[in-house]
Amino acid sequence: MMGATFTVSRIELKRTLTTLGVSERKIDELTAELNKMHRHANAVAFAGMLQKAGLRTDEAANVLRRIGIDDISINSIFNMLEEERIKSAYGKVVDLVIEE
């Protein structure tokens, strides 16, 4: 299912996030971020935005499920998100030079 396009209405997204306890301010920040991206985001970036809005991984996965993304793809999305975070963290901490 990776590479597929999924569409969610702004109203449906807002309703889902409200149900999960996300504040109005956080929802507005998320939709503003999506608007900056011309309302298109890859699933990994979107999952990261959901977590920044305060959702736990299982709650963010639930949002992705409601959009129509299958569990195998959701698992891959969160694995990629974690890999990005690890690379980002190590990039700030480790500077490795290999010389002959």
What tokens were used for 87? 């690379």
Measured distance CA(61)–CA(80) in Å, rounded: 14
CB atoms within 10 A of CB 95: 7
Tens-place pLDDT, residues 31-51: 898 888 877 778 898 999 999
> Strand (E) positions, 19-82?
none
User: Is residue 11's pLDDT more than 60?
Assistant: yes
The predicted model gives 20-27 an average pLDDT of 92
Residue entry with tokens 């990776």: 2
Measured distance CA(36)–CA(58) in Å, rounded: 26
Average pLDDT, the chain: 85
pTM of the shown model = 0.76
Residue 7: HSE in the Cβ half-sphere, 13 Å Cα cutoff? 1
The full set of domain ranges for the chain reads 10-93
